[in-house]
């Protein structure tokens, strides 16, 4: 099985640069639980594949698309 490359996981700074939006916008989205990422301690991390899918399907899609 191939190991994931470390650049497949992004920090908030890297994600802001990748998406070309401000960190303050990302923090607002993260606080609203609209970003597809994980909180590890006080830091957030984002998988590039999940971010790409999130952007492709629309920025207003909730992080977790489970139906209740």
- Confidence band for 68, pLDDT divided at 50, 70 and 90: very low
Q: What local confidence, expressed as pLDDT, does residue 7 receive? A: 67
pLDDT digits (tens, 9 = 90+) for 8-63: 999 999 999 999 999 999 999 988 989 999 999 999 999 999 999 999 987 665 55
pLDDT: is 2 or 20 the higher one? 20
Whether the Cβ atoms of residue 50 and residue 38 lie closer than 8 Å to each other: no
Rounded CA gap, 55 and 20, in Å?
Answer: 12
Q: What local confidence, expressed as pLDDT, does residue 58 receive? A: 77
Domains and CATH numbers, the chain: 6-56 (3.90.105)
pTM higher than 0.85 for the full model? no
């Amino acid at each position: 099985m191939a190991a994931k490359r470390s650049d497949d996981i992004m920090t908030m700074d890297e994600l802001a640069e990748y998406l070309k939006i401000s960190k303050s916008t990302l923090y607002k989205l993260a606080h609203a639980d609209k970003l597809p990422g994980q909180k590890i301690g006080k830091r957030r991390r984002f998988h590039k594949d999940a971010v790409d899918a999130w952007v492709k399907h629309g920025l207003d899609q909730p992080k977790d698309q489970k139906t209740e």
